[in-house]
Structure 1
Amino acid sequence: MSQNISTLHHITAGFTAVLVGYTSSVVIILQAATAAGASPAQIESWLLALGVTMGVTSIGFSWYYKMPILTAWSTPGAAILVSSAAEYDMSALIGAFVVSGLMIVITGLVSPLARALQRIPTPLATAMLGAILLPFCVRAFEPAMTTPYAFLWMFLTFIASKRFVPKYTMLLLLVVGCALAFSADSESMSNPELVIAQASWVTPVLNWSAILNISLPLYIVTMLSQNLPGVAMMKSYQYETPVKPVLMGTGIANVLSAPFGGFSVNLAAISAAICMNDDVDSDKSKRYKAVIWAGVFYLIAGLLASVVVSMFLAFPKEITHMLAGFALLGTLMMCLQSAFDSPDYREPALLVLVVTLSGVTILGINATLWGLIVGWLYSFTMKTAKR
């Protein structure tokens, strides 16, 4: 009996982790693919590639190391694509995904590189990420003028769920969003086709501008805002992450899945905690089974990507903007707190934020990278002056 209850806890935790991951950011993935000019078939392929890659890596790592090692897509990475992907064709973008994956593999192979990346001041990295996320959160409130009825329902749901059931805020917002979308266009929402998703290959092309403006920011954000917090999360539950194998494994998986739309898979942090606490299993050595179940649900979600795509493409853009903006508010707050917490880095972080928001492109380098460069140079100059 106790064995059955334990298995049920593993299944429930695995399902909840995947549900939280999907409901909190699948809209942003779809926006990223749309901004990249992907067709519905290619968007389906993106979700299939991500689902399969996350499922295989989560199951493989957890089974081999007997630890709850959950992987996830990079939501901040998707946010970068939404703001920058439209400048490049699909082949160049896929090439940038491949290069980003290779950079993660190299980081796993070369320890000094990983240490050098950790030396990038956290306030500057989080200020850059905050500037990327801020427009998403601002757009969540624009429908108050164009579709006030839908906005009122969504905003009241957001407040009520945050007050009473904060863990399920995004799930409830998604339910209300679906109801509003159904009332706006019941025909498109009522007949999703239950078919297995199909992969769509795009041949990678190396484009130096895309490598500089997509690969590098995607790599930095994935490492600093996903992999490093993922390692810290596991450490907080007394698990020693096999960092090198995980970086090499996820990097190789990214390279292999990139031609099908797998832009970035990395260690999960927040959703991973769902599979690590005492409620999952009193025996710490058996909690990895919850992640194995999460991997199974990832695979199912990837295979049924066509249903997800057909439903979300039928969403009015106002509801999509609200879902994405509300989903990222917590991350934005964390970024701004981290960026301006240290007095020594407040001015450099402010420069990073402002330059990144400016959208300037100079010498083929976009604002995301310029913000980090300007902030770091200013910080370095001020420290030199003090010495």
Structure 2
Amino acid sequence: MYQKSSTLNHIVAGFTAVLIGYTSSIVIILQAASASGASPSQIESWLLALGIAMGATSIGYSWYYKTPILTAWSTPGAAILVSSAPNYELPNLIGAFMFTGLCIFLTGLISPLSKALQRIPAPLATAMLGAILLPFCVRAFAPITTTPVLFLLMLSAYIASQRLLPKYTMLILLVIGIVSVFHSDNNVLSTTTFSFAHPSWVTPNIDLSIILNISIPLYLVTMLSQNLPGIAMMKTYGYQSPVKPILFGTGAVNMLFAPIGGFSLNLAAISAAICMNEEVDKDKNVRYKAVLWAGFFYLCAGVLATSVVSIFLSFPTEITHMLAGFALLGTLLMCLQTAFQSKLYREPALLTFLVTLSGVSFLSLNSTLLGLFVGWVYSLTLKTNSSE
């Protein structure tokens, strides 16, 4: 009986991670592809490439290391493309994607670069993660003004299930969300055409200008806003992350899939947390099975890219916000506890948290990097003063 319930939790966690990952950012991916000048068939190819790349790497890494290692696309990277891609031709952009993959690949090969990621103090990294998670959790309560009945139903279900059936919390919330979607629109399935996606090849062209203006920013954002939080997330849950193999492999896959639209591949952080907490399985050594299921759903989403877009977009934003927020409440609590537990790093962690949360940018540095930098500098001054 336990084995069956455990498997069900793995399936639900894997599906929820993919659901949240897609619904929270697929619109940005579609905008990035459109801004890059991709045709409808090429946009379909982008989603196919990303689905297969994320599914294959998530399954491969998690199975080999028996650790929940979930990969994802770079949402901040897609945001860069939305604003910058219209200035360049699609073949040049594809070349930029390949060069970004090469940079990540080399980071995995060069030990000082990969080791530097592992030297970030845990309190600062979790403070940064907490700031990233907080807006998701806050948005879970916004629907009370637009859909109060559904919100109260979801909140009540969350509280009750956490008390009575904590293992099935996300399953219960998912069922309520799906039922509400069909209740509001009976034509969701009838208006969806199920078809298989096809790859569309674009021959890459390497241009120095686009490497400087697209490849390098995309590499930095992917490493600092995606891979770093992903590594921190694994550390937070007590998992040792094989940093070098992950960077080496994701960089290689990024280069391989770039000509058909694989613009970015990196560690997941926010959605990965859903596959790492105790609600998935009390035994942390088997939680990787949730990522295996997530990888399977990634593959399905990629193959059915044309259809999956319409299905995922049929979920109202209120439902996706509530699913994401309620699923990450426990993770947010753990991040805050870890960030402010050490007296030495308490104030630096607070600065990291606040600067990251502010969303400010300075000298082309985003708030994630700024927050980490400010907290790190302040922690060094505290260490210097304590040693004098």
1:175–1:102 Cα change, 3 Å: farther
Name the structure 2 match of 1:249. 249
1:23/1:174 contact within 8 Å kept: no
Name the structure 2 match of 1:264. 265
Name the structure 2 match of 1:129. 129
Of 24, 27, 31, the match for 1:28: 24
Name the structure 2 match of 1:73. 71
Name the structure 2 match of 1:316. 316
2:275 aligned counterpart, secondary structure: helix
Deviations 1:197-225 (A, max 9, x none): 34466879836566666532431354444
Partners in 2 of 1:279 and 1:357 — Cα distance? 32
2:99/2:215 contact within 8 Å kept: yes
1:86–1:356 Cα change, 3 Å: farther
Alignment of 1:191-230 (within 5 A): 191-199=191-199, 206=210, 208=212, 214-227=218-231
2:345 aligned counterpart, secondary structure: helix
Name the structure 2 match of 1:156. 156
Partners in 1 of 2:264 and 2:8 — Cα distance? 28
Post-superposition shift, 1:59? 5.6
1:52/1:302 contact within 8 Å kept: yes
1:340–1:85 Cα change, 3 Å: farther
Partners in 1 of 2:117 and 2:14 — Cα distance? 29
1:36–1:290 Cα change, 3 Å: closer
Deviations 1:3-55 (A, max 9, x none): xxx9x999979856643532453322425436747598777555432331133
Deviations 1:62-110 (A, max 9, x none): 78x6x546642248x54x4688775444779978865654343223211
Partners in 1 of 2:243 and 2:376 — Cα distance? 27
2:137/2:329 contact within 8 Å kept: yes
Post-superposition shift, 1:149? 1.4
Runs of at least 5 residues in structure 1 that lack an aligned partner in the other structure: 1-5, 281-286
Post-superposition shift, 1:162? 2.7
1:307–1:153 Cα change, 3 Å: farther
Partners in 1 of 2:16 and 2:341 — Cα distance? 28
1:24–1:32 Cα change, 3 Å: same
1:54–1:276 Cα change, 3 Å: farther
1:116–1:98 Cα change, 3 Å: same
Structure 1, 138-147 or 355-364: larger mean CA deviation: 355-364
Post-superposition shift, 1:148? 0.6
Question: How many residue pairs were aligned?
Answer: 367
Name the structure 1 match of 2:371. 371
Partners in 2 of 1:231 and 1:114 — Cα distance? 15
Name the structure 1 match of 2:330. 330
Partners in 2 of 1:35 and 1:130 — Cα distance? 28
Partners in 2 of 1:326 and 1:288 — Cα distance? 21
2:173 corresponds to 1:173: yes
Partners in 2 of 1:129 and 1:279 — Cα distance? 23
2:22/2:312 contact within 8 Å kept: no
Partners in 1 of 2:337 and 2:355 — Cα distance? 18
1:275–1:55 Cα change, 3 Å: farther
Post-superposition shift, 1:168? 3.6
Alignment of 1:357-368 (within 5 A): 357-368=357-368
| TM-score when normalising by structure 2 | 0.74
Q: 1:72 is matched by which residue type in structure 2?
A: L
Q: Percent identity?
A: 49
Runs of at least 5 residues in structure 2 that lack an aligned partner in the other structure: none
1:163–1:301 Cα change, 3 Å: farther
Post-superposition shift, 1:332? 2.3
1:289–1:217 Cα change, 3 Å: closer
1:59/1:291 contact within 8 Å kept: yes
1:59–1:234 Cα change, 3 Å: farther
| TM-score when normalising by structure 1 | 0.74
Superposed CA RMSD: 4.3
1:136–1:245 Cα change, 3 Å: closer
Q: 1:152 is matched by which residue type in structure 2?
A: L
1:101–1:227 Cα change, 3 Å: farther
Deviations 1:236-280 (A, max 9, x none): 8xxxx8764443122211333356245324487873797996997
Name the structure 1 match of 2:342. 342
1:125/1:221 contact within 8 Å kept: no
2:127/2:350 contact within 8 Å kept: yes
1:15/1:297 contact within 8 Å kept: no
Name the structure 1 match of 2:143. 143
1:50/1:265 contact within 8 Å kept: no
Partners in 2 of 1:346 and 1:152 — Cα distance? 36
1:68–1:352 Cα change, 3 Å: closer
1:341 aligned counterpart, secondary structure: coil
